[in-house]
Amino acid sequence: MIGNLQCVVLDCPAALELAHFYRALLGGTVNQPDPRWSLDDDWATLHLKTGMVLAFQGVDDHRPPLWPDPARPQQFHLDIDVEDLDEAQRQVLALGATLLDSGDATRRWRIYADPAGHPFCLVGE
């Protein structure tokens, strides 16, 4: 095992608006203080009573999926919590992932694509 699923992140045009929609649907707390995320106009979270966290990422010019049209498929990514970001990177690259964005030395996450091209993030503690 390399890490633990931290949250599921949904792309959307308005992060806070969608977080409130899902709060009405599932309950929970919108933008509960959590050291794992910096909340802003483009990022919101929903902490569910089950312990699961949904996150919402505002995307400029968001184009929603057209189910079941493969030209505009479902859009989300996984955040994976890891103890050692460098070691986790070594392991996921060995499994066939591709590094998409390593960020800078101050950032605690890196972005990868799985072998089928789906993005996911490794988030260091």
Looking at residue 114, its pLDDT comes to 92
In the predicted structure, residue 13 carries a pLDDT above the cut 90 = yes
Whole-model pTM: value is: 0.81
The three-class DSSP label of residue 55 is strand
Looking at residue 55, its pLDDT comes to 96
Q: Regarding beta strands 98-101 and 43-47, do their DSSP bridges make them parallel or antiparallel, or are they unpaired?
A: unpaired
Q: Where are the domains of the chain?
A: 4-124
pLDDT digit string, tens, across residues 54-88: 999 999 999 888 888 989 888 889 999 999 999 99
> Would you state the CATH architecture of domain 4-124?
Roll (3.10)
Residue type for position 62: H
How much is the average pLDDT of 95-101?
95
Looking at residue 38, its pLDDT comes to 87
Q: Give the whole-angstrom CA distance, residue 51 versus residue 65.
A: 27
pLDDT digit string, tens, across residues 40-60: 999 999 999 999 999 999 999
Tell me, what DSSP letter sits at residue 104?
-
